[in-house]
Chain A
């Protein structure tokens, strides 16, 4: 079963995402703090097929997190979906240059739609 790493600092939303992804047939590792997730990735304790990332995560922002993740060989090409509350042209461009597949605004999308996007992104990756 494919595993998704979800990092979202709002626990309310984290819960909703976990439920939905489970219902869609995915295993989910949830983290509300980016640093913790990063450490686990660096220690090879996780094995996600894709990352669902918020942007503002309290201890770190998405850009910083991703630059660190991309340094790890194993996750150099991991598909990433950024699902955030706000967006700006600069942020999006910067993230895309780091290989982010899609940038979605939370309030604009149904959970179902985001999960579909995730599916597409994973399928594309062929893993």
Chain B
């Protein structure tokens, strides 16, 4: 007897399941170690207390019912409920309760499945969050004014929002699972197909960075072209390319405005040139004494008028050049050109300015350069601008170096000066329209801020690149390249500086 008792007692306390014996009033008369461990109460704390005291408030009623059922039933009762542990946490118990006919006591065993329940709850919560997020994103995407196209990593359309449908004329069903490149072709401003390598989404997928384009068009379902601003990005997850997103906006209106702006500038500039010429010539006649001699003081004043007028002529010429480039009307007319000769011409024209500031000039040109097929007007403009700047922004007695050399497949030109330099904080704005750095604005009031913008455009149009290095008060060096194979010709209506 004692051996059996010992064994049962041993098992009773070995079990990690919760076990207890309740009297008909549900008072705890005996509990095992498991009960103490799971709920955290000690035997002395539990004995004499109703088991219902440890049941979750919301489940007291139902638990009471189940316990009563056990008394009336000959089978064991199975149910789940929540218990409150000593630390206040909730535990989930799977009970098996039995009140044998032969005894007034209720025997209860429970398995603690709190961990599993918590995992399930978390999963449910996460799923709900995902569903909510999804709903929010869908709502956002369908209401966004921009077209959004989601692509797989192989360029297949997986998502096509409402705006994309409206803008392109296709319904989502019609384009889903089709290849983006084929279904929605991209063309340039003139309507010619764009090389696949130039597509923004291709760029984004190759470089991993967002790619932006403002001068392309999509072909709509009805075959018409839609001018768009496109931003293409890749979708990555843990460094794996998952796909891409193409967001686009209808810029028909913007293009129209751009065109109008350019036409207006062109028109205004032409109209401005006449009175400017008149002022130039009349001032000149006064200064030359054609209508009688002026006093020194009068000459000074008229000279100021003349100089101000020259500045305006400069500005108008620059604006005209800009409007030509931006309107795409600028022609590029490449011819075999001797760069050494071109440079010499420019330097000869600038000699008086160099001399008046006592600037020292050193120039070296690669010996066997040979003629390069580039547009001489455009390249002349670049040398003229860079050298004029070097002269303007270098104090008297300074030094300017010009060098033309061959570097692989490119002709590299360099213009260095020992002048005022460009402050580091402003260097990234140097090629912007109308930008002039603060340090030279005070010293040299004359300047449109358009020269380098034009140089940048012209060099790019000629197939090259331009860049610079500069240190304030030390000097600046500009470099630009031209392809040895020459510039591509471009049809146009006007040439630069005309």
**Interface set, chain B 283-324, CB cutoff 8 A to A:** 284-285, 288, 290-291, 313, 316-317
Chain A, residues 106-125, CB within 8 Å of chain B (1/0): the string is 11001110000000000000
Chain A, residues 75-90, CB within 8 Å of chain B (1/0): the string is 0000000000111110
Q: Does B274 contact A (CB under 8 A)?
A: yes
A61 to B50, CA, bound (A): 114
User: Are B284 and A19 in touch, CB under 8 angstroms?
Assistant: no
Q: Does A16 contact B (CB under 8 A)?
A: yes
Q: Does B179 contact A (CB under 8 A)?
A: no
Q: Does B122 contact A (CB under 8 A)?
A: no
How many A-B residue contacts, CB cutoff 8 Å? Answer: 60
User: Are A107 and B290 in touch, CB under 8 angstroms?
Assistant: no
User: Are B280 and A20 in touch, CB under 8 angstroms?
Assistant: no
Q: Does B213 contact A (CB under 8 A)?
A: no
Q: Does B89 contact A (CB under 8 A)?
A: no
Q: Which residues of B contact A17 (CB under 8 A)?
A: 281
Tell whether A89 pairs with B270 under 8 Å between CB atoms, given A12-B275, A16-B281, A23-B290: no
Q: Which residues of B contact A87 (CB under 8 A)?
A: 495, 498
Q: Does A39 contact B (CB under 8 A)?
A: no
A87 to B377, CA, bound (A): 13
Among A89, A106, A111, point to the contact of B273 (Cβ < 8 A). Answer: A106
User: Are B278 and A107 in touch, CB under 8 angstroms?
Assistant: no
Closest approach, in angstroms, between the C-beta of A104 and any C-beta of chain B?
A: 11
B278, B317, B495 — most chain A CB neighbours (10 Å): B278
Q: Chain B residue with minimal CB distance to A85? A: B273
A22 to B313, CA, bound (A): 26
Closest approach, in angstroms, between the C-beta of A34 and any C-beta of chain B?
A: 17
Q: Does B493 contact A (CB under 8 A)?
A: yes
User: Are A19 and B494 in touch, CB under 8 angstroms?
Assistant: no
Chain A, residues 4-39, CB within 8 Å of chain B (1/0): the string is 000000101100110110010000000000000000
Tell whether A10 pairs with B290 under 8 Å between CB atoms, given A88-B495, A89-B331, A111-B284: no
Q: Majority SS of interface residues in chain B?
A: helix
Count residues of chain A with CB under 8 A from any CB of chain B.
Answer: 19
Closest approach, in angstroms, between the C-beta of B328 and any C-beta of chain A?
A: 15
Tell whether A107 pairs with B494 under 8 Å between CB atoms, given A19-B290, A89-B331, A112-B284: no
A106 to B270, CA, bound (A): 12
Q: Which residues of B contact A60 (CB under 8 A)?
A: none
User: Are A110 and B280 in touch, CB under 8 angstroms?
Assistant: yes
User: Are A111 and B331 in touch, CB under 8 angstroms?
Assistant: no
Q: Which residues of B contact A86 (CB under 8 A)?
A: 270, 273, 494, 498
User: Are A107 and B273 in touch, CB under 8 angstroms?
Assistant: yes
Q: Which residues of A contact B270 (CB under 8 A)?
A: 85-86
A111 to B277, CA, bound (A): 9
**Interface set, chain B 323-359, CB cutoff 8 A to A:** 331, 333
Q: Which residues of A contact B331 (CB under 8 A)?
A: 89
A72 to B48, CA, bound (A): 136
Q: Does B26 contact A (CB under 8 A)?
A: no
A105 to B316, CA, bound (A): 13
Q: Does B107 contact A (CB under 8 A)?
A: no
Q: Chain B residue with minimal CB distance to A113? A: B284
Closest approach, in angstroms, between the C-beta of A98 and any C-beta of chain B?
A: 19
User: Are B285 and A111 in touch, CB under 8 angstroms?
Assistant: yes
User: Are B291 and A19 in touch, CB under 8 angstroms?
Assistant: yes
Closest approach, in angstroms, between the C-beta of B269 and any C-beta of chain A?
A: 9
Among A12, A88, A105, point to the contact of B278 (Cβ < 8 A). Answer: A12
Q: Does B282 contact A (CB under 8 A)?
A: yes
A118 to B276, CA, bound (A): 22
Q: Which residues of B contact A23 (CB under 8 A)?
A: 285, 290-291
Tell whether A110 pairs with B274 under 8 Å between CB atoms, given A23-B290, A88-B494, A88-B495: no
Closest approach, in angstroms, between the C-beta of A14 and any C-beta of chain B?
A: 10
Closest approach, in angstroms, between the C-beta of A81 and any C-beta of chain B?
A: 15
Among B277, B281, B316, B495, point to the contact of A20 (Cβ < 8 A). Answer: B281
User: Are A10 and B281 in touch, CB under 8 angstroms?
Assistant: no
A106 to B309, CA, bound (A): 13
Q: Which residues of A contact B317 (CB under 8 A)?
A: 107
Tell whether A13 pairs with B494 under 8 Å between CB atoms, given A110-B284, A112-B284: no
User: Are A12 and B274 in touch, CB under 8 angstroms?
Assistant: yes
Closest approach, in angstroms, between the C-beta of A75 and any C-beta of chain B?
A: 27
Q: Chain B residue with minimal CB distance to A22? A: B290
Q: Chain A residue with minimal CB distance to B276? A: A107
Q: Which residues of B contact A20 (CB under 8 A)?
A: 281, 285, 290
User: Are A10 and B274 in touch, CB under 8 angstroms?
Assistant: yes
Q: Which residues of A contact B274 (CB under 8 A)?
A: 10, 12-13, 85, 106
Chain B, residues 388-430, CB within 8 Å of chain A (1/0): the string is 0000000000000000000000000000000000000000000
What are 26 A-to-B residue pairs whose CB atoms are below 8 Å? Answer: A10-B274, A12-B274, A12-B275, A13-B277, A13-B278, A16-B278, A16-B282, A16-B285, A17-B281, A23-B285, A23-B290, A23-B291, A85-B273, A85-B274, A86-B273, A87-B498, A89-B333, A105-B498, A106-B274, A107-B277, A107-B280, A107-B316, A107-B317, A111-B285, A112-B284, A112-B288
16 further interface pairs, Cβ-Cβ under 8 Å (given A107-B316, A111-B280): A12-B274, A12-B275, A13-B281, A16-B278, A16-B285, A17-B281, A19-B290, A85-B270, A86-B270, A88-B493, A88-B495, A89-B333, A105-B498, A106-B277, A107-B273, A110-B281
